[in-house]
A and B are shown apart, each in its own frame.
Chain A
């Protein structure tokens, strides 16, 4: 794990991606800081940080795209998987290397509230909790990007997929407005979700019998529920979709609320995708 971590960290600086990424993020956020906090005299850096967090959507895919796709393409993964290190160790090593690169500009931003405090009104708690949540959201995004990178051999495809999914998450509230909130549409949505789950199970386990049972039992349960009490489905799908984006938490933090559930959600989101990365690699090697 440590060997992979050290190598990856070094490689981000050898290949300039690390330097360019850090410079880009620092420059971007610093411009906002200089304009809102220094020039306009707005005393809360946290709000500014939260409102520019969308830049992560553009920058992080560049950082994560190469993590596994490049190794697979150049066949260097052979030295990793034939060594004594476990796959989990390798994934965590790579993840921590990316998180470290991501942490460097975040640490730099920790200086900004101190600069504001030199001029009068300041809110350290608010500012630093906002920086923390932006860091956590970024870590969750990195896990997602790493997972998508482990699915493909092409870094470019990995970057585009990561960007696409992050963009959809960002625009989710707009998308859900289009979805009808009637009981019937939510019911159909739930059926589709069950069938997708069954299909994913089939793709992994290749067991047609269990897949059939999952889909039949799931769909039957939904039909029974719909006949008995259709109001259960009202608004279900749009509400569910609206809960998905991590940026909701950001809005809460921006209005100076420490959203614990949001923090937990970010961490679980990250852990889930680290876990899925390990699974996707194991699956490719053992099937």
Chain B
């Protein structure tokens, strides 16, 4: 279990992490989601004890990372954004070094290394220099290092960046498997990834936690509106005249595409009202053909965009 208490990190005048407060329960996969520069990596670096916080504390299974680093770090395996690999070492040498550094007893060392190699499928390259490995394999070596000795908590900072689609699926499966027996925290700015893999999502923007819930609940949170997108062969003024007669519409946006005779309209309505039929007949009466009409619910992507943009408007 990890408790993050009122965490603040300042770089000069820039507030990278802004009073962050959350608790991570054991045995689940957590996703840190946020745009670039939101403070995900900084938070992870503080949680793993790589850098200190300006204010606040992190408790790992009850041990403060600042006051009892030795005890707290025992429970953590960490894969930073750039895997910390020594290019002049062989994979197997590197893992041996990592095992020694983590203080794994010499009796269990060989077993732990074999386990990590098996899990990350590194058999074929274990005798090669890390320098000569591809990006995907390097990422896996970094991952092997993080899971070495099977710590309770595994923290992965953007584990799938730079991998090919097949490798991404492999790593996702691996993370899901790890999630069965461990607490996994991963960060990403890719939505699909987090929604597929994680049990729980935390959206961070400008160093603040803006939302944290399960993927389903987050979608439900935004389901109070429905969006309609239309493509109509008419100009903006004529469409406006028709739409003005609809009381149900909350918001309308117009855009003109490449084809000037067409107008794209985005309509937002309350979730329980369907105005599609009414729209169809009114446009038909006025001899304005509708080329396209689609109804979309808010997706996780919209939630993400809305939550991370709201903050910007506040400023």
Which residues does A use to contact B, with CB under 8 Å?
A: 2-4, 6-7, 10-11, 14-15, 74-86, 285-287
Contacts and interface: CB of A to CB of B under 8 A. Distances in A.
Contacts of A3: 97, 100-101
Contact of A285 (B51, B82, B84, B85): B51
Contacts of B88: 11, 14-15
Interface residues of B, number: 28
A78 B74 contact: no
B101 A78 contact: no
A74 B50 CA distance: 15
A78 B50 contact: yes
Nearest to A79: B84
Given A3-B101, A11-B86, A285-B51, 15 more contacts: A2-B100, A3-B97, A6-B100, A10-B93, A15-B88, A75-B82, A76-B85, A76-B86, A79-B84, A80-B84, A83-B103, A84-B74, A85-B101, A285-B50, A286-B52
Contacts of B52: 285-287
A179 B76 CA distance: 57
B89 A75 contact: no
Contacts of B82: 74-75, 78
Q: Top 8 closest A-B pairs, CB basis?
A: A286-B52, A3-B100, A79-B84, A14-B88, A83-B101, A76-B84, A78-B84, A82-B48
Contacts of B85: 76
A75 B86 contact: no
Contact of B101 (A10, A74, A79): A79
A258 to B, nearest CB: 41
A116 to B, nearest CB: 40
Contact of B49 (A2, A82, A287): A82
A287 B97 CA distance: 29
Contact of B73 (A74, A78, A82): A82
Interface string B84-119: 111111000100011011110000000000000000
Contacts of A11: 86, 88-89
A79 B70 contact: no
A84 B103 contact: yes
B200 interface: no
A84 B89 contact: no
A150 to B, nearest CB: 15
B159 interface: no
A10 B88 CA distance: 10
Contacts of B93: 10
B151 to A, nearest CB: 11
Interface string B153-174: 0000000000000000000000
Contacts of B49: 81-82
A77 B70 contact: no
B201 to A, nearest CB: 24
B97 A7 contact: yes
Contact of A83 (B45, B51, B86, B102): B102
Interface string B180-210: 0000000000000000000000000000000
> Which of A2, A6, A79: most chain B Cβ within 10 A?
A79
A79 B145 contact: yes
B87 A78 contact: no
B290 to A, nearest CB: 55
B80 interface: yes
B30 interface: no
B10 to A, nearest CB: 9
A6 B97 CA distance: 9
Among B76, B97, B101, find the residue whose CB has the most chain A CB atoms closer than 10 A.
B101
